[in-house]
Structure 1
């Protein structure tokens, strides 16, 4: 009966070592060699799992934001004419109702109700409320300005931007008046009881430079009374 040939590794070991040593090395290093098996999907560490969750969350957020339409830029709004009042709506009578709403709004802010209203209003008691009030609908008049041609302009505020008041005049013309170096005057009607003689309105003058912020930002801004020598 033919014997099987020795394995190739055993033959090489027999050439380099004595028979006993070669047999021992072959048995311990080849035949009985341990086979280390590693899991195909090892358990990830806590940090790796957290990082994977964060990456998946960011990927989903980017996918959602890609589907949402981006807001228009200021240049795009100007190109589309979204910041302009159509010619057909540049009429003083359209905004008279807005002025009536504004008058009631200001009376509520100043506490000028017909029943139990304030006896008088002072700058210290009402200055901050006036400074943070919304001016859309107010009838303002330019009483002082570095540009003499602006003095006397009067109309209802239809847009209060950071640096300008846009008003519609009684001649149905929209004008943008810069707030810088300009003093505006406006009146707040005082409600009266039924059958009572109509009261004189409260007259206020504001420095346009103090209003060079958006209406929403003026609520948290502190104003100081000081002399403005450049107008």
Structure 2
């Protein structure tokens, strides 16, 4: 008689092989109890640690420790921004000093190696954020044009696109400033390195022209407040051909209307109403 399945089940509850044989013998013998069921003992829970999600919060960390860790992370980000912007000012000052000290017969007339100084001060470069820009463009395409397979396809209605962009994440987006109360920000463009509640932190491209202003030669990070600022950005339509040329759809973003964290915007419903304080 084949009792391999029963043996396997009983080994989960009993370690003694003789006891297992005895239970099976009484189960199937003519003089035994011939019970139609197997009596299994509780085996307890498996102590093997299970794979945890990346979003799992460790139960050993209490609320106070968790909040402290969040605060420390924010402080580190602020400290990084503060130190980076201060370092950028030092590099700009070095470029200015080099320009003022240029003389035909002086060794200072050699081209100033800005990239070397940027690497020394660990200033973020525009090129470092290009992979992030590519990822954001794919994310925006899937978000705004989910059913568009080629530039010839019909794009969704304007209201449907705008409602999705109102709650989108903009880290990685290439933006430019169209209008601002601060005229020094007008024309600034770069990749969004960090989307905060009240500002966009852009990484600006460098101008390699030696005659360009020092600030443009350095590039680096620039904090642009959302309030009283108009931004513009482009989203490429999906291109199924082998051509590298894309058709872009341009959008204008009112910074004063998205003064929320990206995680809060994802669940917020924006309503249409008159805008009186754009700038």
TM-score, scaled relative to structure 2? 0.53
Structure-2 separation of matches of 1:189 and 1:102: 11
Which runs of 5 or more residues in structure 2 are unaligned? Answer: 1-58, 85-120, 207-218
- Secondary structure (helix, strand or coil) at the match of 1:158 reads strand
Give the secondary structure class of the aligned counterpart of 1:99. Answer: helix
Larger radius of gyration: 1
CA distance in 2: counterparts of 1:124 and 1:201, whole angstroms: 18
Q: Given that residues 145 and 182 in structure 1 are in contact (C-alpha distance below 8 angstroms), is that contact kept between their aligned partners in structure 2?
A: yes
Q: Deviations over 1:153-179 (max 9, x none)?
A: 100000011000000000231000000
Which has the higher mean CA deviation after the structures are superposed, 142-151 or 91-100?
A: 142-151
1:89-108 deviation per Cα after TM superposition (whole angstroms, max 9, x unaligned): 51000001100010001000
> Is the Cα contact below 8 Å between 2:126 and 2:203 reproduced in 1?
yes
Provide structure 1 residue ranges, at least 5 long, that are not aligned to the other structure.
1-60
CA offset at residue 81 of structure 1? Answer: 2.9
1:191 aligns with 2:238: yes
Number of aligned pairs?
171
Greater shift in the superposed pair: 181-190 or 106-115: 106-115
**Partner residue, 1:71:** 69
Among candidates 220, 225, 240, match of residue 173 of structure 1? 220
Is this contact kept in 1: 2:175–2:232, CA < 8 A? yes
Q: Cα 1:227–1:170, aligned 2, differ >3 Å: closer, same or farther? A: farther
Q: TM-score, normalised by structure 1?
A: 0.63
Counterpart in the other structure of 1:224: 271
2:179 maps to which of 130, 138, 144: 144
Query: Matches of 2:158 and 2:164 in 1, distance apart?
Result: 10
Q: Secondary structure at the match of 1:73?
A: helix
Aligned to 2:16: none
Alpha carbons of 1:106 and 1:63: their partners in 2 closer, same or farther (altered >3 Å)? closer
Q: What is residue 55 of structure 1 aligned with on the other side?
A: none
More displaced 10-residue stretch of structure 1: 122-131 or 203-212: 122-131
Measure, in 2, the Cα distance between the counterparts of 1:78 and 1:138: 23
